[in-house]
């Protein structure tokens, strides 16, 4: 029991250090390079998200703190008739994806992150075809370094979320050779960077 707890503390210490390092790496990307990289990422995402069945949703996120901006992708999908959903924090440990018809409907949510308002209907995880997931770093085996809240991990652990395709979104500067992982950390099926979609 003690060794398990000790390993957990070591992993959390490693994650804290890595979060700081990858925040700095992401912030160091020059504005013009970031613009080109984001355009490429969105173009790759549009290629596979446009083929989502009409009765299914694509899960996106509202970018904060230098994350890859998916707002133009969201607008393009809505214009093409693709249904999208964004996350809304419902409590200290629960997150739901909610249907969004316009990015103008987003309000400031938990942690200052734009989120669907209280009138936006929550959808079942079974309605999601794929979710594009933000993070600070990702490894080739699909391990994700998040922000420490565990919201995505808990969401994807639900039995009804098992079939959702999980796609980590980041700049190539955020790719790591390997990352520490707890047993409860959920891995991605693929990573999306400016180089394209890379299966894990």
List pLDDT tens digits, range 12-40.
668 999 999 999 999 999 999 999 999 99
Looking up residue 57, the CATH number of its domain turns out to be 3.40.50.10420
Asked if pLDDT for residue 7 goes beyond 90, the answer is no
Asked if pLDDT for residue 3 goes beyond 80, the answer is no
State whether residue 18 is helix, strand or coil: helix
Nearest to 192 by CA among 35, 45, 38, 22: 45
**The model's pTM:** 0.91
Q: Take residue 73 and report the two structure tokens written for it.
A: 């992708």
- Pick the more confident residue, 8 or 36: 36
The answer for residues whose C-beta is within 8 angstroms of residue 166's C-beta and 6 or more apart is 130, 131, 133, 142, 156, 186, 187, 188, 189, 190
Domain that includes residue 139, residue range:
2-199
Express each pLDDT in 54-65 by its tens digit.
999 999 999 999
The answer for residues whose C-beta is within 8 angstroms of residue 11's C-beta and 6 or more apart is 180, 181, 182
Q: Take residue 71 and report the two structure tokens written for it.
A: 């707002």
Count of structural domains, the chain: 1
Distance CA 135, CA 146 (A): 5
Mean pLDDT calculated for residue range 133-151: 96
């Amino acid at each position: 029991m003690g060794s398990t707890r000790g390993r957990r503390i070591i992993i959390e210490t490693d994650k804290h250090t890595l979060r700081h390092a990858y925040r700095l790496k992401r912030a160091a990307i020059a504005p013009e390079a970031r613009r080109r990289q984001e355009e490429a990422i969105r173009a790759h995402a549009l290629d596979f998200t446009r083929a989502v069945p009409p009765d299914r949703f694509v899960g996106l996120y509202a970018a904060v703190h230098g994350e890859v901006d998916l707002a133009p992708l969201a607008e393009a999908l809505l214009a093409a008739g693709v249904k999208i959903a964004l996350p809304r924090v419902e409590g200290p440990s629960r997150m739901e994806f909610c249907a969004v018809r316009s990015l103008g409907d987003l309000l400031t949510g938990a942690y200052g992150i734009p989120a669907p308002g209280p009138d936006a209907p929550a959808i079942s995880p079974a309605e999601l075809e794929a979710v594009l997931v933000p993070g600070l770093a990702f490894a080739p085996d699909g391990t994700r370094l998040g922000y420490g809240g565990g919201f995505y991990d808990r969401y994807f652990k639900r039995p009804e979320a098992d079939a959702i395709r999980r796609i980590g979104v980041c700049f190539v500067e955020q790719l790591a050779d390997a990352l520490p992982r707890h047993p409860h950390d959920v891995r991605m099926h693929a990573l999306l960077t400016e180089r394209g979609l890379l299966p894990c």
